[in-house]
Copies of this chain bind each other. A is one copy, B any other.
Amino acid sequence: MKMGKITVDPNCRIKFNNNVDYCVGTGRLGLALTEEYLKELEFVQKMIGFSYIRGHGLFSDDVSIYHEYEENGETKVEYNYTYIDRIIDSYLKLGIRPYLELGFMPGQLASGTQTIFYWKGNTTPPKDYKKWTDMVIALLVHLKKRYGEEVTSWPIEVWNEPNLPGFWYKADMEEYFKLFKETFLAIKEYDSRFKVGGPAICGVNDAVWIKAFLSFCKREGLRPDRITRHHYTVEFPERIGHYDYSKLEDSEMRFANLKSTRDIVDSYDEFKGLPIHLTEFSTSYTPKGVIHDTNINAAYLARQLSRLGDDNEAYSYWTFGDVFEEQGVPDSLFHGGFGMVAAGNIPKPTFWTFYFYKQLKLFSDECVYRDDNAVIVKKDNGYSGILWNIDEEDEIRELLMEVTDSSDYTLITKTVDENCCNPLKLWHDIGEPAYPTHAETELIKSAAWPLTESTVISAKDGVVSSQITVNRNGVVYFTLTKRQLTSDRGYDYDKVVSYH
């Protein structure tokens, strides 16, 4: 058992932009019509509560917005908003709003036949840019009519990962810049309040793309509202059968990569300080990345969440739930899906990492301590923090927290680790049922909640001293708050628990 010590100085101030609940990712929008998806999102919203949700496929054929037809020898266009209205109605009912990713291409508007994924999203440029921007603006007009002026505050991003040939035909940079420019100008002309971002790239060749994009914008006199990119943190995976195994990359190396984007942006006078949105991030970038379901994923992401806000205004975990079809229908309950929750609303360990950061944010935004394995904030009546352990031996962390009085303090800990909150292990131990029954799901779920413990500590010499154990791959959330004992007349707890 390792030992560590943390001394907290309440007057210290650490930069800590905890924007954990700004946005979350989702598989293609069409899946938002399904019940399982909405139940998972309802759970996530009730427990954590994100402001925005971003997914692919807004213009893909299953959402069915764009239609051409022949009339009197002419080709005409009409739009169908039946499904997109239903989807956004559901989102708003759950207190979440769309982060509009404009893509992919409707079949009838596409210039080619290249598709991506099991669900066949067309990834070619429009055959006619005017028809594309007409479609985009018609949608915004429709949304504003239905949902009111607030629509102008919904973020917009142009396309997804054009730097990959699968996502954008030949990864053609010039063509993407054209798409961005046409779209950006059309939207700003319609209503300049809309915020539009790009280039939505992933980590492949990122520096080249960011520089080219900014140079293009500078040249064309465009000022994007945000620079957007993605952030995944594993090495290239090994595929065995249905599953992808991959090694985690060094956290510092990944943070450095993010910093390089920040630096490039800031190197342009015109764009210095422009907000950066990580419109996707996770560990593994495949929907069969088995690491997603593990406790180490939760711990690794705890460190990520303590730092992502340093160089980025926002960052959106990909994805909230396991309803996802990019590589087909999941073959089994636990299958390495991107989700924070598995089918049947089983929270994975990683779910709790996000839950803890949200609790931390609700507690306070004044950070007083941060190291590689901890972040702590304070408010008037106490402290709250998150501790984690990424694949190291079990550790006891001694915390010395300064306080201004000598009263009692209540320490609450919520622990998620391989011993006490490990649904993957329970599922494995009962035989890895691919399609669990309702009873099996309930059983697995009963092993998926943090262990909550409490203790009372008296301040001594202006310091509250406590010890918190963080086991290998564990994440621990704690609050330490001043305690006021208000026993009812005649109630003596010590006697209650000892007299029998």
User: Taking CB as reference atom, which chain B residue is nearest A147?
Assistant: B437
A240: contacting residue among B82, B443, B455, B490, CB under 8 A: B490
| Chain A contacts with B in 379-433, Cβ cutoff 8 A | 391, 410, 412, 414, 418-420, 424-426, 428-433
Within A434-457, the residues touching B (CB, 8 Å) are: 434-435, 437-438, 443, 446-447, 449-456
Once the chains are docked, how many angstroms separate the CA of A428 from the CA of B493? 7
B64 touches A328 (CB 8 A): yes
Distance, CA A412 to CA B426, complexed state (A): 8
- B241 touching A432 by the CB < 8 A rule? no
Instruction: State how many angstroms separate the Cβ of A292 from the closest Cβ of chain B.
Output: 10
In Å, the complex CA distance between A78 and B487 comes to 13
The 8 Å CB contact of A82, one of B146, B329, B491, is: B329
Q: Which residues of B contact A243 (CB under 8 A)?
A: 488, 490-491, 496
CB pair B446–A452 under 8 Å, yes or no, is: yes
Cβ-defined contact, A433 with B486, below 8 A? yes
A414-B489 contact given A426-B454, A454-B430, CB 8 Å threshold: no
| Distance, CA A89 to CA B441, complexed state (A) | 13
In this assembly, does A150 line the interface, its C-beta being within 8 Å of a C-beta of chain B? no
Does B491 contact A329, Cβ atoms closer than 8 Å? no
Which of A242, A328, A418 counts the most B-chain CB atoms under 10 A from its CB?
A242
A497 at the A/B interface (Cβ < 8 Å)? Answer: yes
Q: Which residues of the other chain, B, contact A430 by a CB distance below 8 angstroms?
A: 410, 412, 454, 483
Q: Taking the complex as formed, is A291 at the interface, i.e. its CB lies under 8 A from any CB of chain B? A: yes
Query: Across the interface, do B449 and A449 meet the contact criterion of CB distance under 8 Å?
Result: yes
Residues of B within 8 A of A484 (CB): 431
In the complex, residue of chain B having the shortest beta-carbon distance to the beta carbon of A447 = B452
Give the contact stretch, choosing among A17-25, A32-40, A220-228, A253-261.
A32-40
What 4 additional pairs, Cβ within 8 angstroms, besides A410-B430, A431-B483? A64-B328, A412-B430, A420-B451, A426-B453
In the assembled complex, 7 residue pairs joining A and B whose CB atoms fall closer than 8 Å, in A order, are A83-B329, A240-B490, A245-B495, A290-B496, A425-B454, A429-B456, A447-B454
Question: Closest residue to A335 on the B side, CB-wise?
Answer: B488
- A170 contacts the other chain (Cβ, under 8 Å)? no
* Bound-complex Cα distance A242 to B443 (A): 40
Does A85 sit within 8 A of B, measured CB to CB? yes
Contact partner of A429 among B245, B433, B449, B455, CB < 8 A?
Answer: B455
A-B pairs, 7 with minimum CB distance: A241-B490, A241-B489, A429-B454, A64-B329, A240-B490, A447-B452, A35-B35
A256-271: which residues lie under 8 A (CB-CB) from chain B?
A: none
B241, B435, B500: the one contacting A247 at CB < 8 Å is B500
Complexed CA–CA distance, A290 and B239 (Å)? 51
- Contact B446 A453, beta carbon cutoff 8 Å: no
A90 at the interface (CB under 8 A from B): yes
How far apart are the CA atoms of A90 and B86 in the complex, in Å? 21
Which residue, of A86, A294, A410, A420, has the highest number of chain B Cβ atoms within 10 A? A86
Q: Does A7 contact B (CB under 8 A)?
A: no
| Contact call B454/A450, Cβ cutoff below 8 A | no
Interface residues in A293-352 (C-beta closer than 8 Å to B): 293-294, 296, 328-332, 335, 343
Task: List residues of chain B with CB within 8 A of the CB of A330.
Answer: 82
Closest residue of chain B to A419 (Cβ to Cβ) is: B453
Contact with A431, one of B248, B419, B486 (Cβ below 8 angstroms): B486
The interface residues of chain B lying within 8 Å CB-to-CB of A418 are 497
A64, A331, A432, A484: most-surrounded residue (chain B CB, <10 A): A331
Whole-angstrom CA separation of A418 from B498 in the bound complex: 12
Give A89's nearest chain B residue, CB to CB.
B438
The answer to whether A294 and B431 touch across the interface, beta carbons within 8 angstroms, is: no
The 8 Å CB contact of A432, one of B36, B85, B487, B490, is B487
Instruction: Tell me, in angstroms, the Cα distance from A146 to B429 when the chains sit together.
Output: 20
Q: Are B488 and A434 in contact (CB under 8 A)?
A: yes
Chain B residue, CB-CB nearest to A483: B431
A485 contacts the other chain (CB 8 A):
yes
Please indicate the chain B residues that have their CB under 8 angstroms from the CB of A496 in the complex.
243, 245, 290-291, 293-294, 424
A492 touches B (CB below 8 Å): yes
For A412, what are the chain B residues with a Cβ–Cβ distance below 8 Å? 426, 429-430, 443
* Complex CA–CA separation, A488 to B427 (angstroms): 13
Given A443-B452, A447-B453, A484-B431, CB of A82 within 8 Å of CB of B331: yes
Contact status B488-A36, CB under 8 Å: no
Given contacts A36-B33, A433-B486, contact A414 B491 (CB under 8 A): no
B residues within 8 A CB of A420? 451, 453
Q: Is A153 part of the binding interface, using a Cβ–Cβ cutoff of 8 Å?
A: no
